[in-house]
Amino acid sequence: MSLPLIVIRPEPSCAGSVAAGLALGLDTHGYPLFEVQPRGWSIPEGHFDGLLIGSANALRHAGSALERIRRLPIHAVGESTAEAARGLGFTVASVGVSGLQSVLDALAAPSRLLRLAGEDHIELTPPAGISMETRIVYASEPQPMPTELAETLRGGAVVLLHSAAAARHFAAECDRLAVPRAQLSLAALGPRIATAAGEGWDTVRTATVPTEAALLALAADLCHASSGREGR
């Protein structure tokens, strides 16, 4: 019997990951440890050639100002973000497969971009001929770990980590509630996220590419591989 898979990202993404995990036959449970809240912002002056989007949350929580920039094409970090953009009526010009910096590097110059981001975001370096303005439009506020989740984790589990902030908060909550790190395996979306989780876990592995499909495939391997170590 494989170990349970735990998803801690905020809604509605949490429900999507849970559904995808269940579709793979994994014993998947959602416990959002973050609540996304909008932040006030204003559109910078001047002309922009496109929007740079690293998370669907930037579109979900940007508010009414989006109407003024809906004509701008979107350069999305990945396919799930691109799907959210299309659902809101935006045109998607490009979709990345290995992080937002690679999306930025692939754009043709000259170009001026507006980046909509969360408070916790990766710093980017625009290549020659590309300029970028950044606006913070949302924040993911950490929430305390429920007692029910802590009890589940003490029996062993695999945990999905989608951001460095999630990794740090999850590690801190495990320590606060005396959940043994050695009982848990972590599936991280990228190396920076794995590093943020710290040490002491049973296993920490990183997806081969930063996509939800690759992360879930990794999680499935960990769930099944860990099953032989249940009852440690």
pLDDT digits (tens, 9 = 90+) for 60-81: 999 999 999 999 999 999 998 9
CA 115, CA 210: separation in Å to the nearest integer?
20
Per-residue pLDDT at 129: 97
Per-residue pLDDT at 55: 94
CA 176, CA 194: separation in Å to the nearest integer?
20
- How far CA 182 is from CA of 17, 155, 203, 210, in Å, comes to 24, 11, 8, 25
Per-residue pLDDT at 226: 58
Beta bridge partners of 113: 50, 132
Write the pLDDT tens digit of every residue in 73-104.
Answer: 999 999 989 999 999 999 999 999 888 999 99
Nearest to 202 by CA among 152, 145, 156: 156
The DSSP line for 160-191 is: EE-SHHHHHHHHHHHHHTT--GGGEEEEESSH
Write the pLDDT tens digit of every residue in 145-170.
Answer: 999 999 999 999 999 999 999 999 99
Domains delineated in the chain: 5-34+142-229 (3.40.50.10090), 42-139 (3.40.50.10090)
Query: Mapping DSSP to helix (H, G, I), strand (E, B) and coil, where does residue 2 land?
Result: coil
Mean pLDDT score, 134-139: 98
Instruction: Report the predicted TM-score, pTM, of the whole model to 2 decimal places.
Output: 0.88
Q: Is the pLDDT of residue 126 over 60?
A: yes
